[in-house]
Amino acid sequence: MQNNITIFVEQEDGSVTPLEAPTDMGFSLMEFLKGSDYDILATCGGMALCATCHVSITKGLETLGSISDDEYAMLDTLPNITEGSRLSCQIKLKNELNGLTLKIMGDGN
């Protein structure tokens, strides 16, 4: 059983950074990105209450579960929402997410 996946983070300059992420530790995408020194505030600590962990999934959106009403309600308040917008605190790392590509968006302020 595979315990690591590769997630790709798109930078503002268009470059893409591959990151190896563990799937056997129960981390959310937010926890993993914060632990990898990305600038994610995560003000609410992963409770889907602040949207400071907003990411836009540019590849692999179909591998995520459906968006919850609470997550959608938070995203709907953002000025920089995209079709692939999700809260990274609501995405658990799992093998199916291998190859996921995202941009870190923050809360748009």
CATH of span 4-104: 3.10.20.30
- Per-residue pLDDT for the chain (109 aa), expressed as one digit of tens each? 569 999 999 998 999 999 999 999 999 999 999 999 998 999 999 999 999 999 999 999 999 989 999 999 999 999 999 999 999 999 999 999 999 999 999 877 7
What is residue 1's predicted lDDT score, i.e. its pLDDT?
Answer: 57
**Domain residue ranges in the chain:** 4-104
DSSP state of 67: P
SS3 97: helix
pTM: 0.92
Q: Tokens representing 106?
A: 């923050």
Q: Please state, in angstroms and rounded to a whole number, the distance separating the CA atoms of residues 61 and 66.
A: 10
What is residue 108's predicted lDDT score, i.e. its pLDDT?
Answer: 76
